[in-house]
Amino acid sequence: MPDDTEHARGQHSSPRARVNEIGVCELCMAEKRPDFESLELVCSIDTLSICVDERPESLIRGVSENKRNNSETISLKINPNTYVGYDIHSYNEYLEVMRKILQEMEIEKFWYTRVDFRFDSYTSSYEETEKLNRALIMCYWFKHPSRNLYETKHGWTRERMSYCLKDNTAELESYNKAFQEPSGTVLSRFEVRTKSKTRTLDTFPLDSRPRAYIKTWQKELKDCATLLDSMVQAQNDVLMDEYRRGTAKHLYSSPMDFARHNVDYIFTARQLDDLFAQMGVKNPTTARYNFVKRYSNGETLFFKQKDLIAYSKHLAKKMGAFLVAND
Q: What is the pLDDT of residue 275?
A: 98
Whether 7 shows a pLDDT value over 50: the answer reads no
What's the mean pLDDT in 85-110? 96
Task: Work out the mean pLDDT of the chain and round it to a whole number.
Answer: 88
Q: What is the pLDDT of residue 239?
A: 98
Segment 114-135 shows an average pLDDT of: 95
Residue 254: its pLDDT value, please? 97
Instruction: Note the pLDDT of residue 14.
Output: 41
Q: Rounded to whole angstroms, what are the CA distances from 119 to 38, 188, 220, 252, 315?
A: 14, 8, 16, 37, 8
299 versus 255: the higher-pLDDT residue is: 255
Confidence of residue 298 (pLDDT cuts 50, 70, 90): low
Non-local (6+) Cβ contacts of 119 within 8 A are 41, 42, 43, 189, 190, 191, 315, 318
Assess whether pLDDT exceeds 50 at residue 15.
no
| Cα 60 from Cα 317, distance rounded (Å) | 34
pLDDT confidence of residue 325: 79
pLDDT digits (tens, 9 = 90+) for 203-254: 567 898 999 999 999 999 999 999 999 999 999 999 999 999 999 999 999 9
Is residue 97 very low, low, confident or very high in pLDDT (cuts 50, 70, 90)?
very high
Q: For the segment 175-209, what is each residue's pLDDT rounded down to a tens digit?
A: 999 999 999 999 999 999 999 877 776 656 789 89
Confidence of residue 13 (pLDDT cuts 50, 70, 90): very low
Residues in the chain: 327
Coil, strand or helix: which one is 8? helix
CA dist list (Å): 266 to 14, 19, 212, 289: 23, 23, 34, 14
The 10s digit of each residue's pLDDT in 58-78 is 999 999 999 875 677 899 999
b/e code 180-214 from CB counts within 10 Å (16+ = b): eeeeeeebbbbbbbbbbeeeeeeeebeeebbebbb
pTM of the model: 0.88
Q: How is the chain split into domains, by residue range?
A: 6-37+228-306, 42-221+318-324
**pLDDT average, residue stretch 8-18:** 38
